[in-house]
Structure 1
């Protein structure tokens, strides 16, 4: 049996798209329309109804909303069914992202990481054991995920990370030290996908659990916008990471990082479209009710 070719990263930029691969709203199937309707109803009932509460970061409320979204299968749209996901088609996944990000930026950020860069590394590169252990709990929001790549001195040049991981003498753990900055969901995340150098030059990805000794977070960042999302620095101080929590291959963390970011950007497009539609709707509402020169 021929193996299906797996497209990763930015390969979609250089491969030809066929006419049947381009879709418009008129092309949505009945199932896709039902998914969109369900997501929109959730957004109206659960998110927009709490928009004022979500203007400032509220860990408990964000967690509750993620749990409800998980119950409806929204968080596992891009995860295999065998690991607790919904395994929906990409159009349905896009529609969920658009509808759930209609005007509530705090939830948009939390949802985006939970279903994108916080879980995709495990979906794409996790071992069967890692997928079995973590994906069902991420899909249900039993645990909240975060993606800890950026450092105080390294943003777009993330491969120059200063975080270090040293293999223990018994070969059972890596001792992780470093600081990651501007990490979305950090204030209430249970799981961090992070990166560090092994032997100075082997950039490697790790799955780190918050409850482990040596994991801590700094105060919430004072941001100009998106006050409803959690953004903090994450500090790893002599954290013992089991060798089985290496994600992908040692020294191949760049493959995990870059492919995750490229594929994860798929989710950003419908999210910002949903947000833009909400802004447009508010503008139309205001313009229809505005009175100028004695006329509406």
Structure 2
């Protein structure tokens, strides 16, 4: 799932490539992605692209006061093409969900595709005059790269969740997902199962510093990259996430995994849990 660094990079990509263009045809290949119907997606046609924005893990394109907002979810992505097909896509064929064509001041006719891999279709698109009309945007907490340390401390003090759960709660802190939360907690040497109420002030400060460092570095690496290369850039920077069975780059211990029905997370027992192996819910069920 694209998280804050990738969405920030896509926002900058759209600022560079789409702002200043005029929206041409909007092709909706999967009606299920549209979560609003008034105004229709066709209302974007003919409007100047005046800006791009990021709202947590939501990506937005400002078309002269009317916003196209998307949440790419787990399997979604944005693909830019300089030579799109002039033939409207057939609904329900392939991963394409929506295509937006542009006319640039230079006379080019590029487009971007919103695509979604996999069978679980969760990619969402809204057309609104104000992003806060979208419930998932309206309830976002402060941005992970804008929240101050004092605010962060106060937010964690107001909950007794596991730290892993807390920092991916978009209503608490916006922008962090499963992958970067693994990386942040590994860098801070904190167990994913540690409760926020049990963390001392020093550890909370370390989590905050790791959050700012990991996300800031990832944004720096990602911004300026071609949209097609962002996924690879994200994977290349990971120390524990999606590296089950490989050696921890800090201590050399084996990176371990805790699995649930439809997701998993990774950690290093030596670095984060004092050598204790966390209960893997999937394996626990199999052993019963």
If asked which structure has higher relative contact order (CA below 8 Å, sep 6+), I would say: 1
State the TM-score bracket (shorter-chain normalisation).
Answer: under 0.3
Q: Normalised by the size of structure 2, how large is the TM-score?
A: 0.24
Higher fraction of helix: 1
- Provide the TM-score with structure 1 as the length reference: 0.23
